[in-house]
Structure 1
Amino acid sequence: MFPALEPELKQETLPDPYEDFMYHHLQYYGYYKAQRGTLPNSATHQHIWKNNPRYLLNGSFGKREDLIPDRLQKEKHLWPSCLPSTVRRQTGAMSRDSLMLSSPFVKSRQLLYDDIGKVNPHLREPRDLFALFSGSALLQAPRWPVECEVIKERIHHIEWVPPQPEYFYQPTGNEKIPEIVGEEKGTIVYQLDSVPTEDCYFTSSRVGGKRGIIKELSVSLQGPEDNTLLFESRFESGNLQKAVRVNTFEYELTLRTDLYTNKHTQWFYFRVQNTRKDVTYRFTIVNLLKPKSLYTVGMKPLMYSQLDASTHSIGWRREGNEIKYYRNTAEDGQQPLYCLTWTARFPHDRDTCFFAHFYPYTYTDLQRFLLSVANSPVKSQFCKLRTLCRSLAGNTVYLLTITNPARTPQEAAAKKAVVLTARVHPGESNGSWIMKGFLDFILSNSPDAQLLRDIFIFKVVPMLNPDGVIVGNYRCSLAGRDLNRHYKTILKESFPCIWHTRNMIKRLLEEREVLLYCDFHGHSRKNNIFLYGCNNTNREFWLHERVFPLMLSKNAPDKFSFHSCNFKVQKCKEGTGRVVMWRMGILNSYTMESTFGGSTLGNKRDTHFTTEDLKSLGYHVCDTLLDFCDPDRTKFMQCLAELKELLQQEIHKKFKELGQDMDLERSWSDISLSDVESRYQTSFQSKTRELNQKKTMYKKKKKALKSRKQRNKQYQRHTLMPESKLTEDAPERAGFPSTLQKPPAFFRTSENASSSMMKYEKSRLNKVLFFLCHAVALIFPISASPPQGEECHRPFIGGTLTLLWIGHH
């Protein structure tokens, strides 16, 4: 049964297995680094099956039942009587003090198996106890939900940067809008059998997903002349549910929703084979859910050719013409659907090509990178890899701690922390490319990187949602929920990745200051890269949360847009990482949004981002950290002064707009005059979309009940109006001129306006002026007389606005 091991066992009796196990266990912690003169036979055995790729660490991947189908056969493998007599005598010596092999009823998870289920009498390596991958360790195979079929073929793509800029597609206005035919008039050429939807929930996982034989879902070719494309998406991060052939070279595609939900169709990544050169194909995705997309402003899909990669080292490139994003008229009545259509020409006959929404970055890609770091004798000195937790499916969530060893305990305690995370939304692979750029730089031997490691402790979680990344979800975990809305959760078992991340940061805050928290995301409706932050109401640190984004925009002016940044904290975002960490005490708490498209700034205007562009932003984050923490505060104070000037300009601009347009119907609480930010309010728009969808589902809607405060205001407006009119004719109050008698020119209404409109506009105006006074008072001192002295350079506007508002009341 053990032909490879029998000669070794004949040489000498094996020592105590526990002693041998502990010896190799401690080797992982740096003990016994010198080689022993005579290794025990078990060490030789370990060498044999460590270098045999057929052997897997069964304890890390699944139960033994996954590999040995018959219970009696499993017991036979464990029963030592089945061994040859020579081997049995030697094995008996090893198992005298252990029940590992002595009983078929002892279910041990310490044994290793090969592909055909043969037992290997050795304790597996300790799990989650060592800092880094061992040099000869295999990558941990991804665990899939048991409902998912997974092909055995491994998918790998080369990295490549296009030599020329890839410009946006310029719409002509004549793009074809194909009619959606569907499977009634077309031919299904690919379809997943069973997809878990919102009616199901996650139960268990295993390596390789669904048990049994993998079915061939694509149609069978009728001969060499058959030009039907063969589709496939049952690989890591793949997403395609169905393909329907509606014409010779035209296909309608349906994306799979996030597992255990019925929504979130945006990410796509699939393979096509049996291509034909110099033929124009048309692909139409028919079930997208977002009403707005970057495809409407020139974004192109990505294509990858395996023949080009192998012969010319050409990787992912933007490909597509006649790109159109439009509403699907053939809806099912539940929610509006949208279509994306494009044409493409393949470079080779009978090639294997891939299409993707953005550059894929899988869980296996991450593990390969971490393994290279672990095997580096230099990087492993200041980068320690730990297991933060296990995901719902049992995949490892990795935590990296990066810092240079401190010379003294006082120096170690004085270091501030920086926390970076990515891929909480699995379909936003741009976050992984930025993270990779950051890690490449911070682990390099650059003087700036060494300085950053000297003064900071970096806590990095490079992939928060490995389950979603593996199965090809766009936004959710296997719990069917958006993890970036559950950072306040107490459900440790349902959201382990988020719970352990928050708990790690909480413990970190107890021992040191966390200077910055940043979660890397992707954005599907805006170009460029920008940050979402949190407004600080503490006057001592007023506008300080905007200094880091402004510095980043100066360091990466052709990629990062400060004017697209937003610093409002809305109620619907209370469960996001940036808001929860901000409320835990991290002043500089951000969500970094990187576009799926490209840049509209500087030298990169109207071009798509490449992976190199995103990785360069990881370097700029490091560069900006050095500027932000420079002991010479000149740059910091310059940015702060610039922010105050921008705020003043914004306030004057709002006054001017108010004078030109008296339409005060919109809510001023949604337009913060103290915010130097874009008017593009994504959260407000998403709220509006949700309301519109609800209106379509429920035609009749109840009238909103008024609050007590609203009822009191209405009562005062109707019953106390005569008294207020008498008050207006009375002498001036307390020495203040009545500004209502003579309002500023840009607040006047026409003489023909109705009295009800005048009352409404005055009440709205009072709110506006009060908000302006509050915003300005936080920057400028409020006094009844102009400030004295040469050292005060602030303009005297606080008192004037205060008087203006008091006069209105």
Structure 2
Amino acid sequence: FVAEDLEQCAFFTDSICDQLFPRTKQIVLSYDSGRWVPRLREPRNLYGISPAGHLSLIRWPHQCEVIRDRIEHIDWIPREPEPLYQPTGLELEPLYQYPREGTVVYLADEANEESCFMYSRVGGSYPSKQVIAQDWDNTLNFEARFESGNLQKVVKVSEFEYQLTLRTDLYTNRHTQWYYFRVTNTQAGMPYRFTIVNFTKPTSLYNHGMRPLLYSEVDAKIHRVGWQRTGDEIKYYKNNLGQDGHQYFSLTWTFQFPHDRDTCYFAHCYPYTYSNLQDYLAAISRDPVKSTFCKIRILCHSLARNIVYVLTITSPSESGKEAKHKAAVILTARVHPGETNSSWIMKGFLDYILGNSGDARLLRDTFVFKVVPMLNPDGVIVGNYRCSLVGQDLNRNYKSDLKESFPSVWYTRNMIRRVMEERDILLYCDLHGHSRKENVFMYGCDGGEQAEMPCLHQRIFPLMMSKNCPDKFSFPDCNFKVQKSKEGTGRVVMWKMGIRNSYTLEATFCGSKLGNREGTHFNTEDLESIGYHFCDALLDYCDPDKSKYYLCLKELEEMVKQQAKTNSENLNCDSDASVTDAILDKDSR
């Protein structure tokens, strides 16, 4: 029984077990004194990533078809903010065309044939066939079977018009909003129309001027131009497709490709994939300076056995241990995979906090930062909008004890509990994207009876954010009410665990209604800047000189008084409690 036989046997056994259950123990065979000696090794999730930055391969649900191409896009910022689309009132509303009325030119295998997630495999399943047009035809060729891609079916309605159907979140029949797909065989200068026909939300930012994103590989190669806004005759409307009691909505737009025979991509928001995160973390681990104060560890494995990373960022002490007197700041992002803007904000935060500025060093000297940059890697990989592979919204399950079903939020909650046993937690913030409102804003939690002035102290940090970022962050859009339907969210669960400053930060998919940025889209630089401003607000909030803190508190008290006066005049109600309730009741998510 030679070593090669043993290795082949182990590989075969692992390949079978790998399809059925995740490993919880690892057996290593050492050759000693003429025989193989088995010994147990600690599970890999107790280790950090290697200093060389080697990161695990991506795992997909076994039934997902995946092409081999790795998709990469250049970073690019337009010279001027891109304006929103101005509706003319003449936009068309194309009817839903049943497949028999057109030609199906793209049809991905139905990944929802199984009712639940079974097991994963590295790289997914490579396709054996695909429904596409012939190369000699002028028909566009579509593809979305790459990381974070989402497209189920395309029907060619006429020579330059296509009807697109998005795939629902895996193992659900809902949550269609995120799209990201590739198009080839383009013709420049021709008026194309795309219509996505199976959105489920009755309202959309596309009716507020938001444009889809277009990426041209020719423009990227020749002109170094990346993602840019595109589209005219943009309309979001209720269509004539009703099915199983569900009403569907369409998004339609016209455009022209910039080049012949180009490869182009369309997306709902700037893509940020799991591979992008891994590349970013690998660069940190290889950096001889950043790796001294940013430790990258494995928080847990997802349902598909992809790694959920946790970063600990703080200035190292002489003893090598985290100083107990330092308070903690907790940041998480991407619990909803289609909210890619939250990853760009997280990147901006990490760029700042890992930088060499005096303020960044001061923050690292003052706090211990615990950061989970991607809570839902499985959903990000497969192109979901909202759910994980259990077909559930993780941000409604922070109270759940089902560790096997919701590992990332279960381990995040327990990690925070351990941190609370060691030190104070100043602030918790979960980063999100918002599909119906413009601007950037925050949701917080009521102060309740514990606070000296209910509801005001929790508003100070968001108010500071608005002052540091007046053309993007809107304090009037903030809300601090705890609704019953939100009791399973990270924000509410952490607040009930005892974190007074517990927030959800929401960034629009669209743009700003404020200052000189009114009527323009946010780009990746704008989103990253929110991460910088978060750090600025943190410095202001913790400044030993408390003058800014008390000025904000005084301003909030004046807001309440003014609201009391207004309500008293309009509603004959001058109770402070009623006034506070009126403030809290407005516009909650």
CA distance in 2, matches of 1:366, 1:133: 16
Aligned 8 A contact 1:647 1:676 in 2: no
Shift in CA distance, 453/219, structure 1 to aligned 2, threshold 3 Å = same
Alpha-carbon displacement from aligned partner over 1:134-160 (angstroms, at most 9, x marks no partner): 32x544221000110000111111111
Structure 1 residue matching 2:428: 3-state secondary structure: strand
User: Structure 1 residues 189 and 677 mapped into 2: Cα distance closer, same or farther (>3 Å)?
Assistant: farther
Q: Is 1:204 aligned with 2:141?
A: no
The answer for the alignment partner of 2:485 in structure 1 is 572
Matched, 1:673 2:579: yes
Tell me: CA distance 1:553–1:677, structure 2 relative to 1, closer, same or farther (3 Å). farther
Q: Select which of 545, 549, 555 maps to 1:642.
A: 555
CA distance in 2, matches of 1:672, 1:357: 41
Hey, what does 1:194 align to over in structure 2?
A: 110
Distance 1:410 1:444 in 2: 21
Q: Aligned match of 1:344 in 234, 255, 261? A: 255
**Do the aligned partners of 1:282 and 1:341 also contact (CA within 8 Å) in 2?**
yes
Give the secondary structure class of the aligned counterpart of 2:328. strand
Whether the 8 Å contact between 2:316 and 2:322 is mirrored in structure 1 is no
Normalising by structure 2, we get a TM-score of 0.92
- 1:265 maps to a residue whose letter is T
Q: Deviations over 1:582-611 (max 9, x none)?
A: 000000000000000000101111100000
Counterpart among 567, 575, 591 of residue 504 in structure 2: 591
Q: Indicate yes or no: 2:221 matched with 1:310.
A: yes
Indicate if the aligned counterparts of 2:441 and 2:473 stay in contact, CA closer than 8 A: yes
Task: For 2:542 and 2:332, locate their aligned partners in 1 and report how far apart those are by CA, in whole Å.
Answer: 21
Q: Do residues 167 (structure 1) and 83 (structure 2) align?
A: yes
Q: Distance in 2 between matches of 1:384 and 1:292?
A: 42
Separation in 2 of the partners of 1:616 and 1:200? 41
Q: Distance in 2 between matches of 1:97 and 1:653?
A: 88
Q: Determine which of 421, 427, 433 is the counterpart of 1:516.
A: 427
Change in Cα spacing, 1:236 to 1:443, as seen in structure 2 (3 Å) is same
Cα distance between partner residues in 2 of 1:316 and 1:582: 38
| Contact residue 564 and residue 677 of structure 1 kept, 8 A | no
- Which blocks of at least 5 consecutive residues in structure 1 are unaligned? 1-57, 68-92, 101-105, 111-124, 661-667, 684-809
The AA in structure 1 aligned to 2:452 is E
1:280-429 alignment, distance < 5 Å:
280-407=191-318, 412-429=323-340
In structure 1, the residue matched to 2:403 is: 492
- Output aligned runs, 1:219-258, within 5 Å: 219-221=132-134, 223=136, 226-258=137-169
Partner of 1:142: 58
Shift of 1:216: 3.6
Write the letter of the residue equivalent to 2:115: C
Q: Does the aligned pair in 2 maintain the 1:421–1:461 contact within 8 Å?
A: yes
Partner Cα distance (1:150, 1:267) in 2:
18
Amino acid at match of 1:522: G
1:616 match? 529
What amino acid is the match of 2:51?
S
Within 2, Cα distance between the matches of 1:561 and 1:266? 25
- Sort the Cα spacing of 1:487 and 1:140 in 2 relative to 1 into closer, same or farther, 3 A: same
1:99 alignment partner, one of 30, 36, 45:
36
Offset at residue 349 of structure 1 (A): 0.3
Q: Matches of 1:338 and 1:63 in 2, distance apart?
A: 46
Question: In structure 2, what is the Cα distance between the partners aligned to 1:139 and 1:352?
Answer: 29
Kept in 1, the 8 Å contact 2:147–2:381? The answer is: yes
Query: Structure 2 CA distance, aligned partners of 1:388 and 1:63?
Result: 23
Matched letter for residue 110 of structure 2: S
Structure 2 residues not aligned, in runs of 5+: 1-9, 19-29
Residue in 2 aligned with 1:540?
452
Q: Of the two, which has the highest radius of gyration?
A: 1
TM-score, scaled to structure 1 = 0.67
Helix, strand or coil at the partner of 1:336: strand
Alpha-carbon offset, residue 131 of structure 1: 3.1
Distance 1:574 1:555 in 2: 30
| Higher helix proportion | 1
What does 1:545-564 correspond to in 2, within 5 Å? 545-564=458-477
Could you tell me how far 1:486 is from its partner in structure 2?
0.4
Q: Secondary structure at the match of 1:540?
A: coil
Deviation at 1:251, TM superposition (A): 0.4
Match of 2:127 among 181, 205, 214: 214
In the alignment, which residue of structure 2 is the partner of 1:629?
542
Name the SS of the counterpart of 1:366 in structure 2. Answer: helix
Residue of structure 2 equivalent to 1:155:
71
| One-letter identity of the residue aligned with 2:540 | D
CA distance, structure 2, for counterparts of residue 411 and residue 598 of structure 1: 40
What does 1:82-121 align with in structure 2 at a 5 Å threshold? 97-99=34-36
Residue 201 of structure 1 aligns with an amino acid whose one-letter code is: C
Q: CA deviation at 1:215?
A: 2.8
> Structure 2 CA distance, aligned partners of 1:581 and 1:522?
20
Q: Partner of 1:286: helix, strand, or coil?
A: strand
Tell me, yes or no, if the aligned pair for 1:218 and 1:230 is still in contact at 8 Å.
no
Question: Which consecutive aligned stretches of 4+ in structure 1 deviate over 6 angstroms post-superposition?
Answer: 408-411
Per-residue CA distance 1:395-415 (angstroms, 9 max, x = gap): 000000000013479981110
Quote how far apart the aligned CAs of 1:236 are.
0.4
CA distance in 1, matches of 2:257, 2:267: 15
Q: 1:411, 1:143 → 2: CA distance?
A: 34
How far, CA to CA, are the matches of 1:272 and 1:672 in structure 2? 55
Rate the CA distance shift 1:308–1:648 in 2: closer, same or farther, 3 A.
same
Over residues 69-100 of structure 1, what are the superposed CA-to-partner deviations in whole Å (9 max), with x where a residue is unaligned? xxxxxxxxxxxxxxxxxxxxxxxx96754438
Q: How many residues align?
A: 565
Matching residue of 1:25: none
Which structure has more relative contact order (CA 8 Å, sep 6+)? It is 2
Q: Which residue of 2 aligns with 1:727?
A: none
Residues 602-613 of structure 1 aligned to structure 2 (within 5 Å): 602-613=515-526
C-alpha distance in 2 between matches for 1:557 and 1:63? 55
Q: In the aligned structure 1, how far is the partner of 2:433 from the partner of 2:479?
A: 15
Supply the distance in 1 between the matched residues of 2:583 and 2:279 (Cα, whole angstroms). 39
Kept in 2: contact 1:535–1:569 (CA 8 A):
yes
**1:250/1:283 contact within 8 Å kept:** yes
**Distance in 2 of aligned mates of 1:167 and 1:286:** 25
The residue matched to 1:176 in structure 2 has which SS? coil
* C-alpha contact 2:481 2:585 (8 A) present in aligned 1: no
Question: Following the alignment from structure 2 to structure 1, what is the Cα–Cα distance between the partners of residues 181 and 320?
Answer: 52
Of 259, 263, 266, which residue of structure 1 is paired with 2:170? Answer: 259
> Does the 8 Å contact 2:45/2:300 carry over to 1?
no
How far apart are the structure 1 equivalents of 2:206 and 2:35? 64
1:758 paired residue number: none
Is the Cα–Cα contact under 8 Å of residues 565 and 678 in structure 1 kept in the other structure?
Answer: no
Counterpart contact for 1:182–1:252, Cα < 8 Å: no
* SS in structure 2 at match of 1:436: helix
Q: For 1:353 and 1:544, locate their aligned partners in 2 and report how far apart those are by CA, in whole Å.
A: 48
For 1:622 and 1:150, the matched residues in 2 are separated by 39
**8 Å CA contact 1:132, 1:384 repeated in 2:** no
Cα drift, residue 217 of structure 1: 1.8
Question: Residue 509 of structure 1 aligns to a residue in which SS?
Answer: helix
* Greater fraction of residues in strand: 2
Structure 1 distance, partners of 2:194, 2:367, is: 49
What displacement does 1:205 show?
Answer: 0.3
Residue 374 of structure 2: aligned partner: 463
Rounded to whole Å, the distance in 2 between the matches of 1:541 and 1:401 is 33
- In structure 1, give the amino acid aligned to 2:552: C
The whole-number CA distance in structure 2 between the counterparts of 1:400 and 1:375 is 15
1:182 maps to 98
Distance 1:545 1:216 in 2: 56
